[in-house]
Chain A
Amino acid sequence: AQKITQTQPGMFVQEKEAVTLDCTYDTSDPSYGLFWYKQPSSGEMIFLIYQGSYDQQNATEGRYSLNFQKARKSANLVISASQLGDSAMYFCAMRVGANFGNEKLTFGTGTRLTIIP
């Protein structure tokens, strides 16, 4: 069975600083994908970034980057130059196996990020 662990329930960060949100995962399947989603207080889940298990380079999307350390089974999200609008819940999620019909996501418990002006 697959599992995602997010050990930081909450974080407070000064505006304009960089922040790292931790995520570790557990699976025995060599094929998997890792996702980060942002959930503002409005409730909608917003996709941020994706990393495949066979990708050679760390994924980047604007101010978001994923620090993928395969041997340590970690997929930390790094947000550079944080902004007030970054305040939200952040979820790490995983999809395991490359077989047809196996597309469900397993989520962690989330980290609540608060940006301080």
Chain B
Amino acid sequence: GAGVSQSPRYKVAKRGQDVALRCDPISGHVSLFWYQQALGQGPEFLTYFQNEAQLDKSGLPSDRFFAERPEGSVSTLKIQRTQQEDSAVYLCASSLKGWAYEQYFGPGTRLTVT
């Protein structure tokens, strides 16, 4: 079956540009997560949705970061006025609702801000 997909896979943005990263979760997965992974580091939590409700956005590093999941399926992570420190891989994951279920990850979007 289809896994989590993300687009684009690679994005180069000039400093100050806005970017939008898309995530298509596994069909039927209620929970959706965004993580940021800097080079050589483990993923760090950004935000979490259950259906269309954003239950936790405590990991978003600044108000330039915004995420939405309006119909409880596809999600978009938007970064406004990108800065060099935003360069990272952005991973999306989805899971069934429930605390013990594993999260399935997409291939990530590698964002490079020049």
Binding site for B on A (CB under 8 A): 4, 33, 35, 37, 42-47, 50, 52, 91, 93, 95, 98, 101-110
Given contacts A102-B99, A103-B31, contact A44 B105 (CB under 8 A): yes
Complex Cα distance, B55 from A31, in Å, reads: 20
> In whole Å, how far is B24's beta carbon from the nearest beta carbon of chain A?
14
B89 within 8 A of partner (CB): yes
Complex Cα distance, B41 from A108, in Å, reads: 8
Interface size on B, residues (CB 8 A): 28
Question: Are the C-beta atoms of B100 and A110 separated by less than 8 Å?
Answer: no
Complex Cα distance, B42 from A4, in Å, reads: 10
Number of A-B contacts (CB under 8 A): 62
- Residue in A35, A101, A105, A107 whose CB lies within 8 Å of B50: A101
With A91-B43, A103-B95, A109-B41 known, 17 other A-B pairs at CB within 8 A are A42-B107, A43-B107, A44-B106, A44-B107, A45-B43, A45-B93, A46-B105, A47-B102, A101-B55, A104-B33, A104-B59, A105-B33, A105-B35, A106-B45, A107-B43, A108-B42, A109-B42
> In whole Å, how far is A44's beta carbon from the nearest beta carbon of chain B?
5
Question: Are the C-beta atoms of A101 and B102 separated by less than 8 Å?
Answer: no
Q: Which residues of A contact B103 (CB under 8 A)?
A: 47, 105
Q: Which residues of B contact A35 (CB under 8 A)?
A: 102
Q: Which residues of B contact A44 (CB under 8 A)?
A: 105-108
B104 within 8 A of partner (CB): yes
